[in-house]
Amino acid sequence: MKSRLDSVRKIYGRLKKNRLAVVGLWIIIILVITAVFAPLIAPYDPNEQDLLSSLEGPSLAHPMGVDFFGRDVFSRVIWGARVSLTISLVAVAISAVVGTILGSLAGFYGSVLDEVIMRIMDVFLAIPSILLAIAIVAVLGPRTSNLILAVSVSTIPEFSRIARSAVLVEKNKEYIEAARAIGESRLSILFRYALPNSMVPIIVQASLRMATAILSVSGLGFLGLGVQPPTPEWGTDLSLARTYLEIAPHAGIFPGIAIFLSVIGFNFLGDGLNEALNPKLKDR
């Protein structure tokens, strides 16, 4: 356990040298705090309507202005963090676990199992992922669980590909031979040795996929297929703001900045992790 802690410290040390990664990490920390403490941070109830101030621009009372229904945009952006982060996090977690298991089984066992799993993954890779997500949500209905399903289905193939090639590399190393020689079962070799040693690219991928998941969730919201109003969600709010954009651009600009910043956070971190964890890039 101590050695694992040490290696975490070492990775953090390397990560710290990458300025962009540190910025990314801070953005994510702030984002998570915002999501967790939304009720405390938001000055208003995100659904409280004050029709008299409809479409008012930014002011001291409403730092990001007011939307068409007289709701405080700042409070909605704060609450939106909760919705976007939760859905993206659950979706990425599911696809990381499912994708990694499928991919590592394919890579480790090879032959028929490999062919079957990877051909099924090819099917999902061949369908444009945004259209796949749209179709799933449109058919099954825009509920949160279906949104999560839609985002995970289009992300699983990426994870399985990466896990597969990582396990393929590990599979032929000496320590695996050694484990086999002392009579470990194949499944236990895979999950106790090969997989933990293949985690680096999977962790990097998870951070980068969080960025795409946030984009997909808000993109679906923008098309009217995401989280349904009046729940505050950045993409959905942005699409509502579109109709009166010329009079009140603030109602669309701020939710957009929120999406942009969160995606930047995860992209910066993922990129930095890649450099910090990837031994090939380390010394450059």
Partner 1 sequence: MGRLALTRVLLLIPVLLGVSIFIFLLMRMIPGDPAIIIAGENATPEMLKEIRDEFDLDEPLIIQYITFMRNLFSGKVVSIKTRRPVFEELFPRFLNTLQLTLFSMAIAVPLGMILGVLAAAYRNSFLDNFVMVLSLLGVSMPVFWLGIILILIFAVQLGLLPSGGKEGFESLVLPSITIAFALTSMIARMTRAMMIETLSTEFIRTAKAYGLPRRKVIYKYALKNVMIPIVTVIGLQFGYLLGGAVLTESVFGWPGIGRYIVDGIFARDYSVVQTGIMFLSAVFVLVNLGIDILYMFLDPKIRRGVGKS
Contacts to partner 1 by CB under 8 A = 20, 119-120, 122-124, 126-131, 134-136, 138-141, 211, 215, 218-219, 222-223, 235, 238-239, 242, 245-246, 249, 252-253, 256, 259-260, 263-264, 267-268, 271, 284
- How near is the Cβ of 150 to partner 1 at its closest, in Å? 11
Q: How far apart are CA 117 and CA 131, in angstroms?
A: 22
Q: How far apart are CA 284 and CA 276, in angstroms?
A: 11
Token pair listed for 282: 């380390």
Nearer to partner 1, 179 or 264 (CB): 264
Q: How far apart are CA 236 and CA 255, in angstroms?
A: 9
User: Helix (H, G, I), strand (E, B), or coil: what is residue 83?
Assistant: helix
* Distance of alpha carbon 140 from the chain centroid: 22
- How near is the Cβ of 256 to partner 1 at its closest, in Å? 4
3-state helix vs strand vs coil in the chain, percent to 5: 75, 0, 20
- How near is the Cβ of 82 to partner 1 at its closest, in Å? 18
- How near is the Cβ of 211 to partner 1 at its closest, in Å? 7
Nearer to partner 1, 148 or 238 (CB): 238
Name the amino acid, one letter, at 250. H
Nearer to partner 1, 135 or 200 (CB): 135
Nearer to partner 1, 54 or 146 (CB): 146
Q: What angle (nearest 5°) sits at the alpha carbon of residue 202, between those of residues 201 and 205?
A: 85
Nearer to partner 1, 20 or 32 (CB): 20
